[in-house]
Amino acid sequence: MPTSSRRPAGGARPADGPPPRLTAGARVPIEAVEDGDIRIVKVGPMGPYGNNAYIVRDLSARAGFLVDMPLEERPLLEAIEAEGGVQTIVATHWHADHWMSYDAVRSATRAPVLVGDREVHVPEARIDGRLRDGDEVRAGAIRAIALHTPGHTPGSISLRVGGAVITGDTLFRGGPGKTFAAGDLETLLASIDARLLPLPDATVVMPGHGATTTIGRARAGRQEYRRHPRPPGFHGDVEWRR
């Protein structure tokens, strides 16, 4: 989400009020965008990997859900308490840095935890359900759409919420997520091309790490990458421009 007063054309916009605040002691930035009655609160970066978590709320119903459970516990739990109404938890993928506050968050919210239906390495005892491509995560009047976006992991999901999309580690500002085996980069780029880039240019991209961007900027970066792609089978970190 934008950190200045800049407003994307249509859709999500920075919430009215003071600039991003820092949680006392932990100094974790907390920012918000609003799109009608939808409020999305970004908590982060947090922990050793600079993770972001997101609280999505229906302002009129005081109902919401949480996306990802990284360290640090204190600022995340403070944000959950301040916003209120977290009824569901969604994990974008299985990597441990997105689950590090699982016990504390589950204890505080008693909310069910959902993951993508094709995700691996998730103990069934730690989850309450799985999301198929196209399934809805509901909170009040909010209908967030789960998008299967494999590549970073086999079952990674993104969530389309109003004028924003929460992308986990699939799409970042400046490039795609990291890949770990031959063929994964091609799978990840196909996910981005098919599921994310068709969204409107003004759609706010809210990643699992780092700053927000927009689909328009991601599309321009992807076009630049096509001029100098990595060789087939490459895996690792990639930036659109080099």
Would 6 be classed as within a structural domain? no
For residue 29, the enclosing domain spans 13-225
Q: Which residues of 167-197 are buried (b: 16+ CB within 10 A; e: fewer)?
A: bbbbbbbbbbbbbeeeebbbbbbebbeebbb
The mean pLDDT value for 60-89 works out to 94
Would 125 be classed as within a structural domain? yes
SS3 content of the chain, % helix, strand, coil (to 5): 20, 30, 50
Would 230 be classed as within a structural domain? no
Q: For 112-169, what is each residue's pLDDT tens digit? A: 999 999 999 999 999 999 999 999 999 999 999 999 999 999 999 999 999 999 999 9
Would 233 be classed as within a structural domain? no
Instruction: Please answer whether residues 176 and 191 qualify as being in contact, where contact means their C-beta atoms are separated by less than 8 angstroms.
Output: no
Would 236 be classed as within a structural domain? no
The mean pLDDT value for 212-233 works out to 97
Would 166 be classed as within a structural domain? yes
CATH number of the domain residue 99 falls in: 3.60.15.10
Q: For 174-195, what is each residue's pLDDT tens digit? A: 999 999 999 999 999 999 999 9
- In this prediction, residue 114 carries a pLDDT of 98
- Count of domains forming the chain: 1
**Alpha-carbon distance values, 114 to 28, 37, 117, 118, 134 (Å):** 25, 24, 9, 12, 14
The mean pLDDT value for 34-59 works out to 95
Radius of gyration of the chain (CA): 17
Would 183 be classed as within a structural domain? yes
Which residue, 173, 212, 211, 219, is CA-closest to 194?
Answer: 219
Would 65 be classed as within a structural domain? yes
Provide the Cα torsion 230, 231, 233, 236; round to 10°.
-30
DSSP 205: E
Question: Other CB atoms closer than 10 Å to residue 49's CB: what's the count?
Answer: 15
